[in-house]
Homo-oligomer: A and B are copies of this chain.
Amino acid sequence: MVVVMKPGTPNEIIAKLEKKFESLGCSVHKSQGEDYCLLGLVGDTRKIDPSQIEANDHVDRLLRVQHPFKLASRIFHPENTVVDVLGHKIGDGNVTVMAGPCAVESEEQLLTIAQLVKEQGAHILRGGAYKPRTSPYSFQGMEEEGLKLLKKAREITGMPIVTEVICVETFDIVEAYADIMQIGARNMQNFALLKKAGKSKTPVLLKRGLSATMEEWLMSAEYIMSEGNPNVILCERGIRTFEKYTRNTLDLSAVPMMKELSHLPIIVDPSHAAGKWSMVEPLSKAAVAAGVDGLIIEVHHQPELAVSDGAQSLKPEKFAKLMTAVRRIAEINSI
């Protein structure tokens, strides 16, 4: 951490601050420039509250050197994390495909789609039982009834289940059924939920918040990991920008950037990012070319009857085409 003092700060004030920082366990290196005096703090500064230092009238601002995350950082954990989900590996260099409907709607709907995506080579079944919706008047999910159907689909197809958990209260119920617990974009900074997920051992799919920076996203991963759960899978699902033709803007730079910064696996959700089925295939191919560890894709056999997000769901034949294209790129990319 580097403390930039305001031009003209008296020497005795600077000396006082130096002592204060030393008392906090840091060693201090002072550089006096023409206008600004800098105090470089050496040591573990993650626990110093920047706001306390900035409250000092003579401090102009702080420049941070260390990343604020540690457990999620590649610097302290150089090898890739591989998450094991009932024997399926995520992050081992292959592309994992998670597919299924946005929401579980009925036994017939779920089993039809589950079998369709299984036949096309999907590895994991997705389906929402608790749905976070912007409007209180929208369908909120089948809740535990939906979880039971997911369990049934797993028994029939053998595919592990990924489903969303939306609050601490229903966490244990969801955990009893899920193989991967998804924390949605709007809950990325629901710290109570992150702590709860950290006390579990079930893998967590952590979606990036609507306008979260990568650093904030990794800090949310850090919350989960610091409570004891190392099985975090990052999921880029598009960020909010000024663009109106797409629902969100898929940030594919997050894929190589996260590979540099962190050892955690990263997957991409092109369905929520674009909000339009016609863009799911090109964005899936792009994600794979960029080096992603997996995809999570909405598929519905009757999207115009889907109770949520039909606009972004692929029909089965489009999903089959996507799987072929994605496999080809994945092969080429791994050469």
Contacts and interface: CB of A to CB of B under 8 A. Distances in A.
B68 A283 contact: no
A277 to B, nearest CB: 7
A231 interface: no
Interface string A267-290: 000000110011100110111111
A112 interface: no
- Tallying the copies of this chain within the complex gives 4
Interface in A34-65: 34-36, 38, 40, 42-44, 46-47, 49-56, 63, 65
A245 B285 CA distance: 24
Contacts of A309: 51
A249 B246 contact: no
Interface in A285-323: 285-291, 303-313
A79 interface: no
Interface stretch (A90-98, A116-124, A185-193): A185-193
Interface stretch (A148-156, A173-181, A199-207, A210-218): A210-218
A245 B273 contact: no
A244 B329 CA distance: 29
Given A49-B307, A51-B310, A167-B168, A289 B288 contact: yes
A52 B312 CA distance: 10
A33 B332 contact: no
Q: Which of A4, A7, A227, A286 has the most CB of B within 10 A?
A: A286
A138 B135 CA distance: 33
Contacts of A55: 277, 303-304, 306, 310-311, 313
Given A49-B139, A51-B309, A251-B241, A169 B166 contact: no
B40 A38 contact: yes
Given A273-B253, A311-B51, A260 B240 contact: no
Contacts of A34: 42-44
Nearest to A32: B42
25 contacts: A2-B38, A2-B40, A36-B65, A46-B135, A47-B137, A51-B309, A51-B310, A55-B311, A135-B219, A135-B222, A136-B223, A136-B227, A167-B193, A168-B169, A210-B211, A215-B245, A239-B242, A239-B243, A256-B278, A256-B279, A282-B291, A286-B286, A286-B290, A289-B329, A328-B335
Interface of A: 2, 4, 7, 29, 31-36, 38, 40, 42-44, 46-47, 49-56, 63, 65-66, 68, 75, 132-139, 166-170, 186-187, 189-193, 195, 210-216, 219, 222-223, 226-227, 239-246, 249-253, 255-257, 260-261, 273-274, 277-279, 282-283, 285-291, 303-313, 328-329, 332-333, 335
